[in-house]
Amino acid sequence: MASQQKTSRKAAGTQAAIRRPQARAANSRSQRGDAGDDIGLDALVGHAGYAVRRFQLWIFQDFIKTLATVDIRPTQYSVMTVIGANPGLSQMAVAKRLGIERARLVHLLDSLEERDFVSRIASATDRRSHALHLTARGRTALAQFKRLAAEHERHVAEKIGKENRERLLQILACFT
Amino acid sequence: MASQQKTSRKAAGTQAAIRRPQARAANSRSQRGDAGDDIGLDALVGHAGYAVRRFQLWIFQDFIKTLATVDIRPTQYSVMTVIGANPGLSQMAVAKRLGIERARLVHLLDSLEERDFVSRIASATDRRSHALHLTARGRTALAQFKRLAAEHERHVAEKIGKENRERLLQILACFT
DNA sequence: TATTGTTATACTCTATAACTATA
DNA sequence: TATAGTTATAGAGTATAACAATA
């Protein structure tokens, strides 16, 4: 069945395909070569998820660009920030708090430890777990990251408006 | 250098590691076994990107769950919606409009075509491109998807409040 | 038995580059 | 030469399962 479809697709790509007159629907502009600028999205307007997805893409791209000089990505920043504010946390605790898989946190911490920003110290009370701390270098670096992150937040404010940014933070406060 | 770090990590995992008294910082609770419920996030509050990321995770999970019976994911929904509202679009036009890679759209359309929701029809004017249309079955299915998506939007309204949802859509209108 | 950190696997998504057939 | 669709590959990100050490 999959091969059937493949065949029909290939056929459409290379040679004549069934051109059905049936397809003349509501919004009908039958053949358009436009580049996507004037395409009606009516049906997606009013969908919160779509707007939020597009916004998230923009905001992460700006964050990554703004912190490109220090090569820190949003998740790395959030990990260092939480450890900095709560030294001694276990990996499980950090993973749960940030909603990331503990398996993934292992690799994130590997890279942060290689760069000497974070250290895993044997827990005094539970020999299974590590107490996470920023190194001296990590604390200095985080201070710089925070200055760049603040610059990124200013970009957000410029993009959607200062008041709108604050309204947004209020509305979404229940998700932090 | 990487191997050095690996070694130190392994050592920390199995045996005694350097426990530095240095690490006693501002917020200091040195050893905590808690499960992540009462961890201060102070430093992440006020970061739009973090709030938006958490919200996006929630909203996509709810969308996927609400449309699980019809096995349609957010991106598939957006593709069918745009094609339904603009029949005859090329793949490039759809990709550009939705901000997805044209290479990825190929596979998305493959699966939608296999399920007989969408058809690629040879363009009358440009033999390189395909005109995209919903099939009859696709139009019927999309109507049902839209009913389920509306249910999902009600979940969003319940979660953050009806007025807040509308404020959010206004604020993010520039990203659609 | 259950949990912590770890490794491994698979699947989605994103980002590229290259190939073909057309323009 | 450039563009549309396709294929392939590599990197993040997510979701699991399993394992050793420890509780």
Question: Would A79 be classed as within a structural domain?
Answer: yes
Q: Is residue A64, in this structure, part of any structural domain at all?
A: no
- In tens digits, chain B (176 residues) has pLDDT values of 333 333 334 333 322 332 223 232 333 333 343 333 456 656 788 899 999 999 999 999 999 999 999 999 999 999 999 999 999 999 999 999 999 999 999 999 999 999 999 999 999 899 999 999 999 999 999 999 999 999 999 999 999 999 999 999 999 999 88
- Asked if A63 and A118 touch (Cβ cutoff 8 Å), the reply is no
Residue matched to tokens 């292992």: A106
Q: Is residue A55 part of a domain?
A: no
State whether the beta carbon of A119 lies below 7 angstroms from any atom of strand C: no
The reply to whether B19 falls in a domain is: no
Residue B15: inside a domain, yes or no?
Answer: no
Residue A124: partners with Cβ closer than 8 Å, 6 or more residues away: A131, B19, B31
State which H helix or E strand residue A128 sits in: none
Between CA B156 and CA A47 the distance in angstroms is 10
Residue B83 with chain A: CB contacts under 8 Å: none
Residue A93 lies in a domain: yes
End-to-end CA gap in chain A: 46
Over residues A75-104, the mean pLDDT reads: 96
Distance from CA of B70 to the nearest CA of A (A): 18
Cβ distance of A5 and B113 shorter than 8 Å: yes
Sign (positive or negative) of CA dihedral A39, A45, A47, A49? positive
Q: How far from A106 is each of A124, A132, A135, CA to CA, in Å? A: 20, 12, 17
- A17-44 pLDDT, tens per residue? 322 232 323 333 333 433 334 566 667 8
Q: Output the furthest CA–CA distance in chain B (Å, rounded).
A: 75
Contact between B96 and B70 under an 8 Å Cβ cutoff? The reply is no
Q: Which domain holds residue A95?
A: 73-175
Whether chain A has a CB inside 8 Å of the CB on B149: the answer is yes
Q: Are B169 and B125 in contact (CB under 8 A)?
A: no
- Report if CB B124 to strand C is under 7 Å: no
Q: Is residue A138 part of a domain?
A: yes
Within 7 Å of a protein beta carbon, the nucleotides of strand C are 3-9, 12-18, 21-23
Give the CATH number for residue A79.
Answer: 1.10.10.10
How far in angstroms lies nucleotide D4's C1' from the CA of residue B135? 22
Enter the tokens of residue B28: 């200091």
The protein residues having a beta carbon less than 7 Å from any atom of strand D are A 6, 9-10, 12-13, 33, 35, 73-75, 100-101, 103-104, 126-128; B 14, 57, 61, 90-92, 95, 102-103, 106, 109, 120, 126, 128-130
Domain total of chain B? 1
Q: What value, to the nearest 5°, has the Cα angle with vertex B53 and ends A52 and B41? A: 140
Give the H or E element holding residue A131: strand A130-134
Minimum distance, in Å, between the CA of residue B50 and any CA atom of chain A: 7
Q: How far apart are CA B13 and CA B37, in angstroms?
A: 25
| Residue B145 domain flag | yes
B136 in contact with chain A, both atoms CB, cutoff 8 A: yes
